[in-house]
Structure 1
């Protein structure tokens, strides 16, 4: 596995653990539909939460939320629509972005953007 893929998987695992500790109920990871993939799906306070995870080892090239462009959002929404139909979900949904930042001392920080788009 390429280094960036390993870091991405580690970031997803860290976010899964972090959100679970905040009361989010984990449903699934890496849900795929066509060319789209939703990193993590949770349920929180009656809301289905689709989470896009972005890892950054610094902010020199920008913040995580800046890397979820229009095309990526369209793909996420398409996959979410399929998941909602598949699960027969009839309650609210939301799309979150969680940036995972690692500083030069290997400290991890999270930046959570709830209801980031839709």
Structure 2
């Protein structure tokens, strides 16, 4: 497996563990609908949180969260709409980013709540 794929999988596992440690219940991992995938779908305080995980081994080209472009946000919006419809969920939702950078093989985790808000 390519190094960047391994780094990404490590990041997703760390993000899941981080969210659980913060009291979130993980509802789904790598949930796919159509062309959209959500890394984590979590639940806390009667709110569903759609989480995009971005992991980098260095930041020479920008912070991990800088790579959640509008096109990706639209895909996450589409997935969120599908998910809340399937689950018949009528309460609040949120879009978060978990940005992870491995500095000298030590992960630094940044949780950005309400990272963006697409038109739902």
Give TM-score, length-normalised by structure 2: 0.94
**1:57: how far off?**
1.1
Give the structure 2 partner of residue 61 of structure 1.
Answer: 61
**1:71: how far off?**
0.4
Give the structure 1 partner of residue 108 of structure 2.
Answer: 109
SS for the counterpart of 1:116 is: coil
CA distance in 2, matches of 1:15, 1:101: 12
SS for the counterpart of 1:117 is: coil
Give the structure 1 partner of residue 31 of structure 2.
Answer: 31
Contact 2:47 2:94 in 1 (8 A): yes
1:32-90 deviation per Cα after TM superposition (whole angstroms, max 9, x unaligned): 11111000000011110000000011211101111011100000100110011011111
Give TM-score, length-normalised by structure 1: 0.95
Aligned residues: 117
CA distance in 2, matches of 1:65, 1:108: 15
| Unaligned runs of at least 5 residues, structure 2 | none
Give the structure 1 partner of residue 87 of structure 2.
Answer: 87
Q: CA RMSD in A?
A: 0.9
CA distance in 2, matches of 1:83, 1:38: 10
CA distance in 2, matches of 1:6, 1:59: 17
Contact 2:38 2:79 in 1 (8 A): yes
Moved over 6 A (4+): none
| Unaligned runs of at least 5 residues, structure 1 | none
Contact 2:32 2:79 in 1 (8 A): yes
